[in-house]
Amino acid sequence: MRIEVFCISKTNKESRHEAISHIGGKNADGSRWKISEKDAIKGIETGKWNFYVAGDGQTC
């Protein structure tokens, strides 16, 4: 499943170098979702999820 990421949470918001702790986005119905970095990595490794971000008309 290809999923767009709209936001991240970091362990320390003030530091540019701190690790991401969670990622989040919106479901098709407009509700929001948020999962831990650990769960996101597990989903990628098992082929369950394929995350991407979009900006300036580009996806990464």
Per-residue pLDDT of the chain (60 residues; tens, 9 = 90+): 899 999 999 888 787 778 899 999 999 999 999 999 999 999 999 999 999 998 876 665
**Counts of helices then strands in the chain (DSSP H, E):** 1, 7
Short-list 56, 44, 59, 43, CA closest to 4: 59
Instruction: Kindly report the pTM of this predicted structure.
Output: 0.80
The per-residue pLDDT for 11 is 85
Domain edges within the chain? 2-59
The per-residue pLDDT for 56 is 75
The per-residue pLDDT for 60 is 57
The per-residue pLDDT for 4 is 93
The per-residue pLDDT for 32 is 96
